[in-house]
Amino acid sequence: MPTDEATEMTGETSEARFGPGAVVVHQRFGYRGVVFDVDPRYAGSDDWYEQVARSRPPKDRPWYHVLVDGASHTTYVAERHLGHDPAPTPITHPLLERLFDRFQEGRYLKDELAH
Protein backbone atom coordinates (compact mmCIF):
# COMPACT_ATOMS: atom_id res chain seq x y z
CA MET A 1 0.00 0.00 0.00
CA PRO A 2 1.44 3.42 -0.89
CA THR A 3 2.58 5.58 1.98
CA ASP A 4 1.63 9.24 1.74
CA GLU A 5 4.76 10.05 3.70
CA ALA A 6 7.08 8.47 1.13
CA THR A 7 5.25 10.18 -1.71
CA GLU A 8 5.32 13.51 0.09
CA MET A 9 9.04 13.30 0.87
CA THR A 10 10.19 12.18 -2.59
CA GLY A 11 7.66 14.10 -4.65
CA GLU A 12 6.98 10.96 -6.68
CA THR A 13 4.16 8.50 -6.74
CA SER A 14 5.58 5.40 -5.14
CA GLU A 15 4.48 2.18 -3.57
CA ALA A 16 7.23 2.46 -0.98
CA ARG A 17 6.51 0.77 2.36
CA PHE A 18 8.87 3.10 4.22
CA GLY A 19 9.45 6.82 4.05
CA PRO A 20 12.41 8.90 5.16
CA GLY A 21 12.69 8.79 8.93
CA ALA A 22 11.36 5.25 9.32
CA VAL A 23 13.39 3.02 11.65
CA VAL A 24 13.87 -0.34 9.93
CA VAL A 25 15.55 -3.70 10.43
CA HIS A 26 17.39 -5.60 7.68
CA GLN A 27 15.63 -8.97 7.53
CA ARG A 28 18.67 -10.97 6.40
CA PHE A 29 21.50 -9.32 8.34
CA GLY A 30 19.66 -8.05 11.43
CA TYR A 31 21.04 -4.53 11.58
CA ARG A 32 18.86 -1.54 12.43
CA GLY A 33 18.86 1.77 10.63
CA VAL A 34 16.86 4.77 9.51
CA VAL A 35 15.71 5.43 5.95
CA PHE A 36 16.99 8.77 4.66
CA ASP A 37 16.02 8.52 0.98
CA VAL A 38 13.85 6.35 -1.25
CA ASP A 39 14.30 5.45 -4.91
CA PRO A 40 11.03 4.26 -6.51
CA ARG A 41 13.14 1.65 -8.36
CA TYR A 42 16.78 0.55 -8.35
CA ALA A 43 19.03 3.47 -9.30
CA GLY A 44 22.50 1.95 -8.92
CA SER A 45 24.88 0.64 -11.56
CA ASP A 46 24.52 -2.74 -13.21
CA ASP A 47 28.05 -3.61 -12.04
CA TRP A 48 27.20 -2.95 -8.38
CA TYR A 49 23.98 -4.96 -8.66
CA GLU A 50 25.80 -7.93 -10.20
CA GLN A 51 28.57 -7.88 -7.57
CA VAL A 52 26.63 -7.06 -4.41
CA ALA A 53 22.95 -7.91 -4.83
CA ARG A 54 23.48 -11.68 -4.78
CA SER A 55 19.85 -12.44 -3.95
CA ARG A 56 18.75 -10.55 -7.08
CA PRO A 57 16.02 -8.40 -5.52
CA PRO A 58 13.68 -6.79 -8.05
CA LYS A 59 14.93 -3.60 -9.67
CA ASP A 60 11.40 -2.34 -10.36
CA ARG A 61 10.46 -2.05 -6.67
CA PRO A 62 11.61 0.62 -4.18
CA TRP A 63 15.19 0.70 -2.87
CA TYR A 64 16.22 2.55 0.27
CA HIS A 65 19.23 4.56 1.44
CA VAL A 66 19.74 3.64 5.10
CA LEU A 67 21.92 5.04 7.90
CA VAL A 68 23.22 1.99 9.77
CA ASP A 69 22.85 2.09 13.57
CA GLY A 70 26.16 2.15 15.42
CA ALA A 71 28.19 2.56 12.23
CA SER A 72 29.43 5.40 10.02
CA HIS A 73 28.41 3.93 6.66
CA THR A 74 25.14 3.83 4.77
CA THR A 75 23.56 1.00 2.82
CA TYR A 76 21.41 0.73 -0.29
CA VAL A 77 18.77 -1.91 0.33
CA ALA A 78 15.93 -3.47 -1.65
CA GLU A 79 12.52 -3.19 -0.05
CA ARG A 80 12.09 -6.94 0.32
CA HIS A 81 15.01 -7.04 2.77
CA LEU A 82 13.59 -4.45 5.18
CA GLY A 83 10.97 -4.63 7.90
CA HIS A 84 9.60 -2.16 10.42
CA ASP A 85 11.51 -2.11 13.69
CA PRO A 86 8.93 -3.52 16.14
CA ALA A 87 10.13 -1.24 18.97
CA PRO A 88 11.83 1.70 17.26
CA THR A 89 14.31 3.49 19.46
CA PRO A 90 16.86 6.15 18.45
CA ILE A 91 19.88 5.07 16.43
CA THR A 92 23.46 6.30 16.50
CA HIS A 93 25.03 7.55 13.26
CA PRO A 94 27.33 10.53 12.54
CA LEU A 95 25.09 11.85 9.71
CA LEU A 96 21.87 11.69 11.69
CA GLU A 97 21.86 15.32 12.82
CA ARG A 98 22.53 16.55 9.27
CA LEU A 99 19.50 14.71 7.89
CA PHE A 100 16.94 14.85 10.69
CA ASP A 101 16.03 17.27 13.47
CA ARG A 102 14.34 15.07 16.04
CA PHE A 103 13.12 11.60 17.00
CA GLN A 104 9.43 11.50 17.87
CA GLU A 105 6.96 8.64 18.30
CA GLY A 106 9.34 6.05 16.85
CA ARG A 107 10.53 7.93 13.76
CA TYR A 108 12.93 10.67 12.70
CA LEU A 109 11.54 13.98 11.51
CA LYS A 110 12.97 16.96 9.67
CA ASP A 111 11.61 20.41 10.41
CA GLU A 112 11.47 21.74 6.83
CA LEU A 113 10.70 25.31 7.90
CA ALA A 114 13.82 25.49 10.06
CA HIS A 115 16.16 24.86 7.09
Q: Tell me how far the alpha carbon of residue 81 is from its chain's centroid.
A: 11
- Rounded Cα gap, residues 34 and 93, in angstroms: 9
Residue 52 has pLDDT above 80, yes or no: no
Residue 65 has pLDDT above 70, yes or no: yes
Residue with the bigger pLDDT between 3 and 66: it is 66
- CATH superfamily, domain at 4-114: Hemimethylated DNA-binding domain (2.30.30.390)
What is the reported pTM?
0.83
Kindly state the percentage of the chain with pLDDT values over 90: 71
Task: Convert the pLDDT of each residue in 76-112 to its tens digit.
Answer: 999 999 999 999 999 999 999 999 999 999 999 998 7
Kindly state the percentage of the chain with pLDDT values over 70: 85
**Among 43, 33, 48, which Cα is nearest to 10's?**
43
Q: For the chain, percent helix, then strand, then coil, each to nearest 5?
A: 20, 30, 50
- Tell me the one-letter amino acid at 70: G
